[in-house]
Amino acid sequence: MLSAAAGAPVEQYARARLFEPLGMKNAAWERADATGLVSSGWGLRLRPMDMAKIGQLVLDQGRWQGRQVVPRDWISQMTSPKVAPDFGYYWWVNHIVRGEPEVDAMGFKGQFIAVLPARRTVVVMTSMLSIDGGLRDADNVKTFRRVVGDFVLPAIGHAAPDAVAGSAALKAELGLARASKGVPGTAADPTDSPRL
């Protein structure tokens, strides 16, 4: 329906209206069907920085660098409960953090974008985790809840984070991440293997 309304394939419309305005040069939509059409529900590959841009866009009510990229009303609609008390249009409501306003998007096996408006914070995680346990309480969801609840929230406190201190903490964390070797876990589907 989106392709028909836009007069273009979903991935072309997204590139022109979302990816390019946000400076996302490496977004790729895969898993096209036999006719070459991709599903808007899966197969999108984004780098963590680009996932964070999506979160920031939601946090800023559809504005990016002073420009309204997505209508404010649509951001409100998609992040409000619609089909279930905790689910909007592909955005979960208080699914990761339950004690304060929070919305999040979830990708397969452990890709998350969490938006914490009261803290002016976006949290992103990419991983390959077990999805055992059902959609709302799968192992990957529980892991992300623990990461956010046990580490991120205490680190940033209750106020919006200080940009200078946050930048130093982020650089330190990225250094640790680069130095880690990782532990093999859930097997990747061949089409899910990371690419440059």
Q: pLDDT band at residue 130, thresholds of 50, 70 and 90? A: confident
Residue-level pLDDT at 85:
85
Q: Check residues 8 and 91 and name the one with the higher pLDDT.
A: 91
Predicted confidence (pLDDT) at residue 137 exceeds the cutoff of 90: no
Task: Report how far residue 158's alpha carbon sits from residue 91's, in angstroms, rounded to the nearest whole number.
Answer: 23
Predicted confidence (pLDDT) at residue 191 exceeds the cutoff of 60: no
What mean pLDDT is predicted for residues 162-187? 61
Residue-level pLDDT at 31:
64
What mean pLDDT is predicted for residues 186-196? 51
Predicted confidence (pLDDT) at residue 196 exceeds the cutoff of 90: no
Mean pLDDT over the full length of the chain: 81
Predicted confidence (pLDDT) at residue 187 exceeds the cutoff of 80: no
What mean pLDDT is predicted for residues 146-160? 83
Q: Check residues 98 and 73 and name the one with the higher pLDDT.
A: 73
Q: pLDDT band at residue 136, thresholds of 50, 70 and 90? A: confident
Predicted confidence (pLDDT) at residue 118 exceeds the cutoff of 60: yes
The amino acid present at 157, given as its one-letter code, is: G
